[in-house]
Structure 1
Amino acid sequence: MNPDVHRELIPRDDTLHLIRALDAMKGKLLHAAEQWQLLSLRQLEVTGQRG
């Protein structure tokens, strides 16, 4: 597959902005997943279902 040298590239500033936005979203999602896991564990403790 030959690279197309005439293709449009995403401008560098836009690319960096997108990377920062995705990195921020990743951080928020990881935090939310942690909170969800802690909530689930706490709920199991309260209901006595934790082994």
Structure 2
Amino acid sequence: MCLLLGVLVGRAVPWMQGWRTRAAHRAAEQKLDALYSQYDDIYHRWDE
């Protein structure tokens, strides 16, 4: 029983860390997308 619990915890910890990094990556991607769209708007206004 204890061994099974150890295996589950051992699998869950990296998954939780991975989930956290995926969430951070997603937030960073959203920020980059917002920044890119702002620059795109500015560029199109300047181009006209």
The TM-score normalised by the length of structure 1 is 0.71
* TM-aligned CA deviation for residue 21 of structure 1: 1.0
1:30 to partner: Cα distance = 0.1
* TM-superposition CA deviations, 1:7-51 (whole Å, max 9, x none): xxx7111100111111001000000000000000000000117xx
Q: Which runs of 4+ in 1 moved over 2 A?
A: none
Q: Percent identity?
A: 5
Mark the runs of 5 or more structure 2 residues left unpaired by the alignment. Answer: 43-48
The answer for unaligned runs of 5 or more in structure 1 is: 1-9
Higher relative contact order (CA 8 A, sep 6+): 1
Count of equivalent residues: 40
The structure in which a higher percent of residues are helix is 2
1:29 is matched with 22
